[in-house]
Structure 1
Amino acid sequence: MAGDNERGALFRPIVPNQHSRVTYAELFFDLVFVFAVTQISHTLLGRFTPLGALQTTMLFLAVWWVWVYTSWITNWLNPETTPVRILLFLLMLGGLVLSTSIPKAFESRGLWFAIAYAAMQVGKTVFLWLSTPPGRALTRMNAVRITAWLSVSAVFWIAGGFAEGYSRLVFWAVALTIEYISPAVRFWIPKYGASAMADWVVEGGHMAERCAGFIIIALGESIVVTGATFADLRWTLATVSAFASAFIGAIAMWWIYFHKGAEAGSEQISKSSEPGRLARLAYTYLHMPIVAGIILSAVADDLVLTHPAEHSDSRTVLSAVGGPLLFLVGTILFKHTFRGFLQLSHGAGIIALAILAWFAGSLSPLMLSIVTSAIMVVVAVWESVSLRSGAAEPKSEAAQSDATSA
């Protein structure tokens, strides 16, 4: 009995009508992923070919997944306890190995990347399993299910680390597929079946705050990349204009996500009768295109700063238009999960960017950056004005629940 109580003490205390705050240990852990995001954007910038883009996308999916799984774990476990803090510090070490391996993950450091990733994913889930007292049968069974799925994917990660060339790509694609479909099928395993959504008890406000924190990480990384590139350039009218456009674009992205969306999402998941479902859809899956869009926009900012007046090649067009487009697609779907309707301003922005893509090649990189930033500013202002004027009234809780279930 004493052992059960001791293990149960590792879980976050439940305080009615109050969501758990993000701890300093979690913020410290996130610093590793500032580095990881920077490594991803630099890797894409250095190998912006179809194959390089595919490889970098897979690395991004892995980095996001290991981070979001850790956020789920610390949503249940209490980082203020010493064992959980030690777990986070060990995960930070694994994250540093993972991050430093990113540029050569498909070359000489593939095995290092695979070992670090598999150890982080399986290790923290086993820790959750062992930390859960038998009295928490549903939570313990969920940990068993997750461990089973991650153990299978770990085999493909390690096999890919030993493989080379396209074989590594295939092995890792299989591993990512296993991991990404597992929450959708609720971690079904033979004999024990799948978990019920009611089993996924999450502290919604904490999950929303954690994912908002990762958006800050991505936006901060884009500003660091832009600032570092700008500092090394000769300050001309073109480079200063490109820097200003990149900065305004980053502010617009922040405004679109945080001005109304982040707070509304946090409030809705805190009140939801099925917070696990909303956390899985809105924060686990739909935040991926948001973060990917910010990273891709950072790549565009670097390209525009270094060649503001030249011809817009395919790399510049894809990143300058594709980054904001991915971001808006992610935010419109994210906000739909708790508002129950598609934001008109975001839809208009998506259409405007799609139209821009048709003739973007005829614009200079600087002009392309200015136009995309202007579109994002219009979306941000439009949404703010429409919500302030009451044009988008909140739906009833029942309607929001239906939208979430969809």
Structure 2
Amino acid sequence: MTNFLQPPRLRIGENSEEERRATWLELFYDLVFVVAVSQLAHNLTEDISLSGLFGFVALFIPVWWSWIGTTFYANRFDSDDIIRRLLVGLHMLTAAAMAINIHHGLGESSAGFALSYALGRVVLIVEYIRAGMHIPSARPLTTRYAMGFAIAAFLWLVSVLLPIPWRFALWTLGVIIDFATPLTARKFQLGLLPHASHLPERFGLFTMIVLGEAIIAVVKGVSEQKWDFLTVISAVFGLIIAFSLWWVYFDNLGGTPIQTARENGRVGVVNLWLYTHLPLVIGIAATGVGVEHILLSKSGLALPDPQRWLICGAVALCSLALGILHRFGVIRYCKIRSQYRLWGAVLLVAIAIFGKGLLPVTVIAFVAVVAVVQVVQDLYQSRPTTRLVDPEI
């Protein structure tokens, strides 16, 4: 019988090489972020100007970081006790409150959004303090995290009392401290590296969440239009882009940054892997919005500049992030694949620059071709005769 009053336990160390899967509680927790990402995409759909894009990114960062915080905690420390379940329930409440306040998150709902995020960090701080009390070997790391996150949470709480734009100044400072806290704890992380199989799976699941937005965008875009040949073709291209992004990301998880860090003593590769996922998931989410705008555009008229830049820029951002991950070996280390990703990003920017006057179906077709070429190149590299262990490939 499970002991539901058991303290947190260290989930890494001697058993770090054992296979570990996401728990049902973690999967349940992810559901609230499906809603949050959907709200973020809805905001961008309503305003794809530079200010709208800035607002989308500004709200996406704390939502993503909130998920990151609880995911890293569960990766290192976990127990299926009543207190842990209740704390996860509180996390879900704060994340749901963030989702509720996203629609006007930089306006009339900004105070509610800040309060929701801050309370979520407070719950995380309680969890780290609890883990440090029960696991002496992890106390230096948990103390550093609790202190750094507490300072950031305090700034978010104080921002509720300030008017705009000073409120956002404290948000910015709070996010910087939140992001910097793991970097200041590098010497404590080396002996407590994340679990090698569990964390990549969790990151993959969040990537699936944002990829789901691309699928929703295709369905929504087609359902709101009269079905004609060009709309159907554009929808097919939209699905091809999403499928290609899925293929290139999940088919290249042959290397793991945790194993690299453990073998070489380089914690920096884990942090690079962590922070590079932010532009990747932002790009995927924005890609879905870009596809939806193309499907809602008049098929016989040239695609407006904002829509063209959105779809090309979003996929280019994904390609750039993947190229960085390849280059530094935090996913499959492959110089040629990294170059293809980077050249793909360049081509997509070129389409955005020189594609003025093109029809929506033409723009999305070009983007889809660039995405498919990435997949074809990976398949070519994966032939049985290809030496994937060669660092020059």
Secondary structure at the counterpart of residue 97 of structure 1? helix
1:374 maps to 369
Q: How many positions carry a matched residue from both structures? A: 383
Q: Which amino acid aligns with 1:341?
A: K
User: Residue 15 of structure 1: SS of its match in structure 2?
Assistant: coil
Q: Work out whether residues 260 and 266 of structure 2, in 8 Å CA contact, stay in contact via their aligned partners in 1.
A: yes
- Structure 1 range deviating more: 11-20 or 152-161: 11-20
| Counterparts in 2 of 1:47 and 1:16: CA distance versus 1, 3 Å | closer
Amino acid at match of 1:367: T
1:166-185 CA deviation, whole Å, 9 max, x = no partner?
Answer: 32332222222222222233
Percent identity of equivalent pairs: 22
Give secondary structure in 2 for the equivalent of 1:21.
Answer: coil
Shift of 1:212: 0.7
1:286 is aligned to 2:276: yes
Give the secondary-structure state (helix, strand or coil) at the position aligned to 1:384. helix
1:220 Cα deviation (Å)? 1.0
Cα pair 2:12 2:195 within 8 Å, conserved: no
Please state whether the residue corresponding to 2:18 is helix, strand or coil. Answer: coil
1:314, 1:300 → 2: CA distance? 12
Letter matched to residue 311 of structure 2: A
Once residues 80 and 385 of structure 2 are traced to their aligned partners in structure 1, the CA distance between those partners, rounded to angstroms, is 42
Measured in 2, the distance between the counterparts of 1:163 and 1:147 equals 25
Superposed CA deviations along residues 220-272 of structure 1, whole A, max 9, x for unmatched, are 1221122123222211112111111111110010111012x124337855964
1:219 to 211, 222, 239: 211
Task: Indicate the SS of the match to 1:355.
Answer: helix
Q: Distance in 2 between matches of 1:215 and 1:195?
A: 29
- Tell which deviates more after alignment, 262-271 or 51-60: 262-271
Aligned CA distance change for structure 1 residues 9 and 357 (closer, same or farther; 3 Å): closer
Q: Which residue of 1 aligns with 2:305?
A: 314
Q: Deviations over 1:155-176 (max 9, x none)?
A: 3222333334332332222222
Tell me the CA shift for residue 309 of structure 1.
3.3
Name the aligned partner's letter for residue 353 of structure 1. Answer: L
Unaligned stretches of 5+ residues in structure 2: none
CA-CA distance at 1:84 after TM superposition: 2.0
Query: For residues 134 and 326 of structure 1, do their structure 2 counterparts lie closer, same or farther at Cα, with a shift above 3 Å needed?
Result: same
Residue 333 in structure 1 maps to residue 327 in structure 2: no
CA RMSD of aligned residues (A): 2.5
Cα displacement (A) at 1:94:
1.0
- Report whether the alignment pairs 1:357 with 2:352: yes
2 CA distance for matches of 1:390 and 1:164? 63
Separation in 1 of the partners of 2:82 and 2:379? 43
Pick closer, same or farther for the CA change 1:351–1:391 going to 2, 3 Å: farther
Please state whether the residue corresponding to 1:311 is helix, strand or coil: coil
Separation of aligned partners in 1, 2:52 and 2:190:
41
> After the TM superposition, which residues 223-234 of structure 1 pair with which residues of structure 2 at under 5 Å, given as runs?
223-234=215-226
Query: Matched residues in 1 for 2:35 and 2:346: separation?
Result: 33
CA displacement 1:358-381 (0-9 Å, x = unmatched): 212221222111100110000111
DSSP-derived class of the 1:162 partner: coil
Aligned to 2:342: 347
Q: Deviations over 1:64-88 (max 9, x none)?
A: 1111111100101225333222222
- Residue 49 of structure 1 deviates from its aligned partner by 2.6
**Equivalents in 1 of 2:254, 2:34: separation in Å?**
23
Q: Does 2:128 align with 1:128?
A: yes
Aligned residue in 2 for 1:403? none
Mapped partners of 2:388, 2:302: distance in 1: 45
Residues 117/313 of structure 1: CA separation in 2 closer, same or farther (3 Å cut): same
Task: Tell which deviates more after alignment, 70-79 or 370-379.
Answer: 70-79
Alpha-carbon distance between aligned partners in 1 of 2:166 and 2:22, rounded to the nearest angstrom: 40
Within 2, Cα distance between the matches of 1:49 and 1:237?
29
- The TM-score with structure 1 as length reference comes to 0.87
Q: CA deviation at 1:12?
A: 6.8
Correspondence for 2:102:
102
Q: TM-score, normalised by structure 2?
A: 0.89
**Distance verdict in 2 for CA 1:388–1:267, change over 3 Å:** farther
**1:26 to partner: Cα distance:** 0.4
In structure 1, the residue corresponding to 2:165 is in which secondary structure? helix
Residues 20-64 of structure 1: CA distance to partner in whole angstroms, max 9, x if unpaired?
211111011111111111111111121223222222211111111
Whether the 8 Å contact between 2:17 and 2:195 is mirrored in structure 1 is no
Corresponding residue of 2:172: 173
Classify 1:16/1:322 alpha carbon distance in 2 versus 1 (closer, same or farther; 3 Å).
closer
Say whether residues 1:208 and 2:200 are aligned partners. Answer: yes
Change (3 A) 1:273 1:79: farther
Quick one: distance in 1 between partners of 2:161 and 2:369?
47
CA distance in 1, matches of 2:159, 2:369: 43
Superposed counterparts of 1:245-284, under 5 Å: 245-259=237-251, 261-265=252-256, 268=259, 272-274=263-265, 276-282=267-273, 284=274
Question: Which residue identity does 1:83 align to in structure 2?
Answer: I
Deviations 1:320-362 (A, max 9, x none): 1111111011111112232163623212212221322221222
